[in-house]
Structures are given as C-alpha cells and as structure tokens.
Amino acid sequence: MAVDERLTHATVTWLDPSAALGGGHAGAADSGDGRTPRDGTATDDEDAYLVAAMASAALAAAEARAGFGDGMSLNDRKVTVDGAATEAAEKILGRAPFRIRVAAGEGERDDSPGAHTGQWLGLPDEGSPVIDGVFDYVDGTELAATDQPGALALGGFGSGVRPVPDLQAYAALAPTHALRGLDIMARPEDGVVPLLERIAAAVGKSPDELTVSTHSLASKPMHRTLIDLMRGRVRQVLVPERVTVEPPYLLSLAGLSEPRIDSMIGAIGLSELAFAAGLVDLVAPELGFVFRLASVTGPRAEPGLTSLDALFKFSEDEEVALRAGGWRKDRQYTSEDLVRPGTSRAATLFAVTDNPALGLRGPEPRGGDVAHVEGFLVKPAARIGSIRLSYRR
C-alpha cells in the first residue's frame, strides 16, 4: 500500500555496521512503485508510516523556505517551517492503521506547531493496537529557517515510552551498568569532574582519553563553564557551532559519523532525550542516560548566565506539569525510567537541510519535477537502512 500519493520511488540500502563509515552496505531493496519493500530486508506497516511521515515532514519543511518573504522575522520563518512539517507528517500518521499515542513532542510550551504529548494519531478505534510515538518534526528549526546544515526530521515508535512534559533535562550518557552509581544531582559545574572520572572508569579509559559531546553556546552561554571544565579533563569536547541536534553524535555509536563519542553531557529537551534514549536502545543498548529534570523558563529568565544554575529554577506552571506526569525535580532518573529497555521498535531521521556529519543531502526547496529526500531507518540490533525517496512535486 502506498502511504503517500506524491511518493514515486523508494530505495533502501541496509548497511553493514562493520563498514558503515566506509559506505559499506549489505544490499539494496528498490520499490519503484513508492512502497516500502516488504521482502524481509525491509519493514512492516509501522515502519512504512513512520518513514513516510518523517520524510514528508522533511520535504515540507525544506519547501516552506521557498515561501519566505523579504523582511520575514526569524520567528515567523521558524513557525512556517514547523507548521509545514507538522501538517505533512500528521497527514500521513493520521491515516495509519493503528493508534499512535504521542509520548514526547515539541511545541506545546510555546503553543507552536509540532507533536504534543498526549496527542492521538492514527485509527480512532480504542480497541486498535497502540504504539508510543516520539516526534520532533524539525529538530534544528532555526537551521532550517536560515538554510544552514544540520536540521533533521525525527520520529520513533516504541511500546514502553513514559510520557514527558515539554521541558528539559540535564543528562549524561554512560554504560548502563554504571548509571545508578553516577551523581547527576550535584551542581553540574561542581559534579562534572567526578562524573567524568566515573564514566571513564566504566568505559575502561582514563578521563583524558574521552570524547564528549555537549550543548551549543550559540543561543545561551550557560554551558560555557561546564565546557571549560570538561576541556581541562578530556581528550575532546564536541560543541555544536549553532544549534544542538543530538542524533548525529549518537549515531557515531553505530559507525555512521565521526568521531565516536564516549559520552554526552549537558542540557537536552525531554522530547529529544526520549528520542535519544530510544535510538540508543536500538543501536547501543549497553549504554543509557542518567538525568534530572530541568526548566525551560529558568534559563530564559537569565540568558546571560555562564553556568547551568538557572536550569533548576522551575516556574509554577512547570512544577504543575511535572507533578501531573508523576515526575519529581528532586531525584535522578535513568533511561529505564523513560524508555523501557528493549521496547524501541524503530527510529527514523531525514535531512531537512544538508547534513555533512551523516552524509545526507537535504531536499531542494524549489525547482524540478522531482524532489529527493534522504535519511535512515534504524531497527533493533543496530540494523540500519539508508533511504532515498523520490517525490513528485
């Protein structure tokens, strides 16, 4: 069954993990009629709808840039991109022959377009099978709105995702066997050195051998002190130049990007953390996150801070949202509290703009009769399909 009437051709190349960085592959499945292949190398209906929805979101977000007018504000451009991606993705997901409960999404806190926690998509029949969905129709909206590389359309399906409010977390990636022994509740700048030492011991390295990814400094300088402390202890700290988009760093664990990270430490949106935890469950289940809940309004109220102190200054509305979901700001959690191990079914990501880290081309916003969308489908046991879809304009 074709799930998108604009889709004319689909090619899936299943990658050989041992040769991923060299472009190795196990073979291609070609479906010229626009259907996701169903021959054993490919996927079921869930994957078909997930792939079609996220690819459609990526294409719509890219094409939305063609409609930007002179003098259009950055915020209006971002809303336009998010709105186009949301409409395109939910048109596909709304036709899915199963129920989708959105467990994590973005946009609710700002009343902007996007998937919202608690939203239902797909079949309205309450007796239908239910799948948990985690969606960020455009991760890196500012990148898309300014035609900068790195924006992605992200989506994941699972059966054990705990719903999250549209807030943040302070998190660290480490081997699962070490997570319970890590202290994430200390003030980040005071606790990062012992945190790095414990992570290094858990991965069998010294701290000065670690490669750690973290948050960008472009929008707010609050990670500056943390980054300086880490740079004094580890081999390499990877700091995004403009906007933080985590999946390329996490896919280094499957050999799809370089360098391979040993950890990821810093602030991350809860919806992004839910997607990241699901992705790690698929490609590197021996790893996981330890995290504590964090505020969005706190850093916005103190944008000039060079520490993470404002992360833990919650507004009254944020505290209400935490209590409503059974979350507590005074305790730490692990990935198991967010995504039950072994329950992630699939994750997919498609380029909205070019993504050099993953070797993906973004769709051209205009011109030609055919548009191409590139991305990956990630399945359990790090089974990864490189996907190229062609759409009729």
B/e letters for 144-165, b = 16+ CB within 10 Å, e = fewer, are bbbeebbbbbbbbbbebbbbbb
**Residue ranges in the chain modelled with pLDDT below 70:** 1-2, 17-43, 107-110
> Quick one: 125 exposed, middle or buried, by C-beta within 10 A (0-12, 13-18, 19+)?
exposed
pLDDT at 129 (0 to 100): 83
What pTM was computed for the model? 0.92
pLDDT at 354 (0 to 100): 97
The per-residue pLDDT for range 232-284, each reduced to its tens digit, is 999 999 999 989 999 999 999 999 999 999 999 999 999 999 999 999 999 99
**Distance (Å, whole) CA 272 – CA 55:** 18
Local structure of 33: helix, strand or coil: coil
Local structure of 343: helix, strand or coil: coil
pLDDT at 33 (0 to 100): 39
**Which H or E run includes 225?**
helix 224-231
pLDDT at 30 (0 to 100): 52
Nearest alpha carbon to residue 171 among 143, 212, 219, 135: 212
